[in-house]
């Protein structure tokens, strides 16, 4: 640890949040960066800002009963962690996946606090979800689950209180079911209470593309300060969901060539460049496995049960899930000539992987900076809803690009200010921490 105060606080965090390993990891990652901040600003330690930051303002756990198409009753567990509202209403997605438990939601919420702060927009941090698995469920079953979930959650939400969005397992369809139930229960057309909505009822242009586009923009900025670009580079993107699809699309537009992407069963390698329209058809329309890609695309091959990181590339964008890229995979990427990493997912690289990249001099964009485009565009959706306005695609995308350029500049500048030039992990953590800490001090002991 960089500071004895942080050693002590971390021990308390682990003791009070036992078994929540992902949360411990996310706290540790921030603590490794902010030691120099405490040397300059002892008031943060004196006023227990760090301890307060590590304790969510509110944690909600509830049961979600629902009935499947055969009349069988199921009971899932719902979560919402309202982590920090110093900068604005709680903002963060809902995740529907069997792996969801309190530790996952807290890790995601903690990350969200810093990510939102780095955007410079007036939004706090929160996260939520359920251990419900939408895979294999009919649309009517998913609707019934969403309605039951929102029946409890609605009482905790509001456009000036807590504004959820989508995440893994929660796309436009699920947001629509959730919003419909919220409107039905409250008798209010409160557009700004959920983001990621359909364009038919208050959604924002570019919201679907935002996280993936933003990641590509951030990587482009990291390369630019090194006198380089995505032009002509081979890129590997893990995952084949929303973030991965639009990271691939924007990378191609910026001149790179994505040669591989993956799903939970393996990866597809296409030396001519991934056909993003085919991936969209398979994943967004047909909802089938990625293995189908190789059957429909001449020259492509699908490799089952192996890691996509074995494909040599100059740029990698881990965009699937947490801790998917470990130290061995990082070393493999470095040996393959990788010069830049942009995290499209939340904390997809393990601490060992991060160290390998940093020691090798690879430009490493952490998720709380590189994938901030999604929440940034959610905030733009909130702006449009509040003003009863609607912006065009080009205007919204230009705003997204400006925000990602600003995020990069803040992280780059802060890292240099604290004597760690090029360390985007430190830059993002320090800038986010100071921004939130100053707001907390200004609002008194609450």
DSSP letter for each residue of 87-130: SSSEEEEEEE-TT--HHHHHHHHHHHHHHHHHHTSS--EEEEEE
- Residue 127 among the catalytic residues: yes
Residue 42 and residue 235: Cα distance in Å, rounded?
A: 43
Residue 378 labelled as part of a binding site: yes
Residue 265 and residue 284: Cα distance in Å, rounded?
A: 17
Residue carrying the six token digits 């209180």: 161
Residue 211 labelled as part of a binding site: yes
- DSSP-derived letter for residue 240 is -
What's the whole-number mean pLDDT along residues 77-100?
Answer: 98
Residue 41 and residue 281: Cα distance in Å, rounded?
A: 52
Residue 2 confidence (pLDDT) above 80: no
Threshold 0.85, pTM exceeds: yes
Catalytic residue among 127, 233, 283, 368: 127
CA angle 111, 117, 119 (to 5 degrees): 105
C-beta atoms surrounding 97 within 10 Å: 18
| pLDDT single digits (tens) 6-44 | 999 999 999 999 999 999 999 999 999 999 999 999 999
Q: For 305-319, what is the HEC assignment?
A: CCCHHHCCCCEEECC
Residue 233 labelled as part of a binding site: no
CA angle 280, 284, 285 (to 5 degrees): 100
C-beta atoms surrounding 60 within 10 Å: 18
Residue 409 and residue 222: Cα distance in Å, rounded?
A: 9
- In the chain, count H helices and then E strands: 17, 12
What does the block give as tokens for 29? 């990652």
What does the block give as tokens for 199? 């364009």
Residue 186 and residue 216: Cα distance in Å, rounded?
A: 39
What does the block give as tokens for 58? 């509110």
| pLDDT single digits (tens) 334-355 | 999 999 999 999 889 999 999 9
- DSSP-derived letter for residue 297 is S
Would you state the pLDDT for residue 1? Answer: 42
What's the whole-number mean pLDDT along residues 392-418?
Answer: 97
Residues 130 and 153 sit within 8 Å (Cβ to Cβ): no
Residue 270 confidence (pLDDT) above 80: yes
Main-chain dihedrals φ then ψ at residue 412, nearest 5 degrees = -65, -45
Distances (CA, A) of 127 to 12, 73, 243: 22, 26, 18
Distances (CA, A) of 178 to 69, 184, 219, 375: 19, 10, 34, 18
Residue 242 labelled as part of a binding site: yes
Residue 166 labelled as part of a binding site: yes
Distances (CA, A) of 328 to 263, 339, 340, 349, 434: 19, 16, 17, 11, 33
What's the whole-number mean pLDDT along residues 71-83?
Answer: 98
Residue 390 labelled as part of a binding site: no
Residues 441 and 47 sit within 8 Å (Cβ to Cβ): yes
pLDDT band at 81 (very low <50, low <70, confident <90, very high): very high
Residue 197 labelled as part of a binding site: no
Contacts with 412 (C-beta within 8 Å, 6 or more apart), sequence order:
225, 422, 424, 427
Question: Buried (b) or exposed (e) across 110-132, using 16+ Cβ within 10 A?
Answer: bbbbbbbbbbbbebbbbbbbbbb
Would you state the pLDDT for residue 284? Answer: 87
On average, the pLDDT of the chain sits at 96
- DSSP-derived letter for residue 71 is S
């Amino acid at each position: 640890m960089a500071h004895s105060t942080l050693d002590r606080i971390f021990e308390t965090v682990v003791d009070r949040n036992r078994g929540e390993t992902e949360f411990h990891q996310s706290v540790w990652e921030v603590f490794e960066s902010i030691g120099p901040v405490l040397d300059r600003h002892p008031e943060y330690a004196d006023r227990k800002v760090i301890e307060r930051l590590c304790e969510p303002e509110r944690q909600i756990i509830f049961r979600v009963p629902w009935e499947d198409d055969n009349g069988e009753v199921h009971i899932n567990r719902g979560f919402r962690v309202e982590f920090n509202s110093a900068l604005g209403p709680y903002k963060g997605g809902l995740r529907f996946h069997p792996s969801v438990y309190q530790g996952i939601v807290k890790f995601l919420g903690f990350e969200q606090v810093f990510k939102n702060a780095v955007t410079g927009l007036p939004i706090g941090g929160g996260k939520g979800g359920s251990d419900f698995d939408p895979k294999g469920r009919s649309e009517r079953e998913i609707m019934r689950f969403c309605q039951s979930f929102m029946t409890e959650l609605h009482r905790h939400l509001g456009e000036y209180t807590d504004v959820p969005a989508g995440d893994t397992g929660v796309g436009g369809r699920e947001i629509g079911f959730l919003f419909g139930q919220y409107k039905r229960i409250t008798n209010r057309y409160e557009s700004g209470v959920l983001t990621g909505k359909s364009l038919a009822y208050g959604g924002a242009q570019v919201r679907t593309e935002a996280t993936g586009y933003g990641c590509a923009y951030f990587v482009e900025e990291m390369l630019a300060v090194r006198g380089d670009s995505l032009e002509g580079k081979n890129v590997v993107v893990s995952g084949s969901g929303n973030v991965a699809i639009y990271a691939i699309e924007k990378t191609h537009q910026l001149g790179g060539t994505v040669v591989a992407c993956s799903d939970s069963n393996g990866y597809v390698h296409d030396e001519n460049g991934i056909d993003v329209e085919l991936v969209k058809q398979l994943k967004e329309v047909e909802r089938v496995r990625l293995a189908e890609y190789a059957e429909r695309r001449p020259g492509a091959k699908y490799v089952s049960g192996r890691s996509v990181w074995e494909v040599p590339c100059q740029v990698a964008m881990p965009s699937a899930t947490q801790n998917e890229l470990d130290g061995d995979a990082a070393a493999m990427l470095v040996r393959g000539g990788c010069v830049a990493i942009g995290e499209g997912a939340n904390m997809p690289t393990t601490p060992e992987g991060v160290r390998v990249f940093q020691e090798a001099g690879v430009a490493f964009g952490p998720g709380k900076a590189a994938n901030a485009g999604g929440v940034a565009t959610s905030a733009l959706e909130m702006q449009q809803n509040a003003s009863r306005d609607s912006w065009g695609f080009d205007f919204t995308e230009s705003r997204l690009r400006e925000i990602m350029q600003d995020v990069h500049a803040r992280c780059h500048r802060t890292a240099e200010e604290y004597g760690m030039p090029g360390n985007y992990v430190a830059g993002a953590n320090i800038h986010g921490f100071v921004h939130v800490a100053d707001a907390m001090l200004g609002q008194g002991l609450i």
